[in-house]
Chains A and B, each alone.
Chain A
Amino acid sequence: KAGVTQTPRYLIKTRGQQVTLSCSPISGHRSVSWYQQTPGQGLQFLFEYFSETQRNKGNFPGRFSGRQFSNSRSEMNVSTLELGDSALYLCASSLGPVGQAGETQYFGPGTRLLVL
């Protein structure tokens, strides 16, 4: 079974631009979560989606948004990019809502975003 895929793998943008990242979960998985990883802040939770509904959101500004489609694929968008948005963005999928019976999340390889 194919794992979680994320596209693109690498991205370079300039300040003020916007970016859209894509995540395809493992087949049959309906929950998708997004995380930002930076050397200074570590791994931080962005949002979680299940059945096209955002069920949880981390402490990020409104410039960060996401959505999930009926096929469980998810996108996250960052508008008006800032230098501090440079990070590795990780997507994770699980079978059902994260937390049900402690379900395991499986992570994709990430998208590395560099903002110049």
Chain B
Amino acid sequence: AQSVAQPEDQVNVAEGNPLTVKCTYSVSGNPYLFWYVQYPNRGLQFLLKYITGDNLVKGSYGFEAEFNKSQTSFHLKKPSALVSDSALYFCAVREGNRGGGFKTIFGAGTRLFVKA
């Protein structure tokens, strides 16, 4: 079974500093990897995804993620954090079944706090 791990429950960073939210994955076959963000009392918003191609994926709101096959990681990064980036971040992997159906498996989430 496929899985993702987010080793940090919380990440604290000062505004203007670079941020990294870590994610490692375990899949059989080619991975479909995603990052989502959730603001309080809201649903999940799509940030970016890796399907194939360049290992560096650029997404919404200045976020990017680097796919590293040898380290089975897909860390989320941003060069300069904003206070408004404070939210809950989820890494996810897509898993298929033999019947053609699919599901998204989410990590536990990492809460990002950006201090002014």
Q: Number of contacting residues on A, CB 8 A? A: 26
A102 at the interface (CB under 8 A from B): yes
B83 at the interface (CB under 8 A from A): no
* Binary flags per residue of B35-46, CB closer than 8 Å to A gives 1, else 0: 010000111111
Closest Cβ–Cβ distance, residue A2 to chain B (whole Å): 14
A62 at the interface (CB under 8 A from B): no
Task: Name A residues whose Cβ lies closer than 8 Å to a Cβ of B.
Answer: 4, 33, 35, 42-43, 45, 48, 50, 54-56, 58, 90, 92, 97-99, 101-102, 104-110
Most buried by A among B42, B99, B104: B104
Q: How distant is the Cα of A24 from the Cα of B32 in the complex, in angstroms?
A: 25
Q: How distant is the Cα of A1 from the Cα of B96 in the complex, in angstroms?
A: 29
Chain A residue with the shortest CB-CB distance to B44: A107
Chain A residue with the shortest CB-CB distance to B100: A55
Q: How distant is the Cα of A97 from the Cα of B99 in the complex, in angstroms?
A: 12
* Residues of chain B lying within 8 A (CB to CB) of residue A107: 36, 43-46
* Residues of chain A lying within 8 A (CB to CB) of residue B100: 55, 97
Q: Are A98's CB and B49's CB within 8 A?
A: no
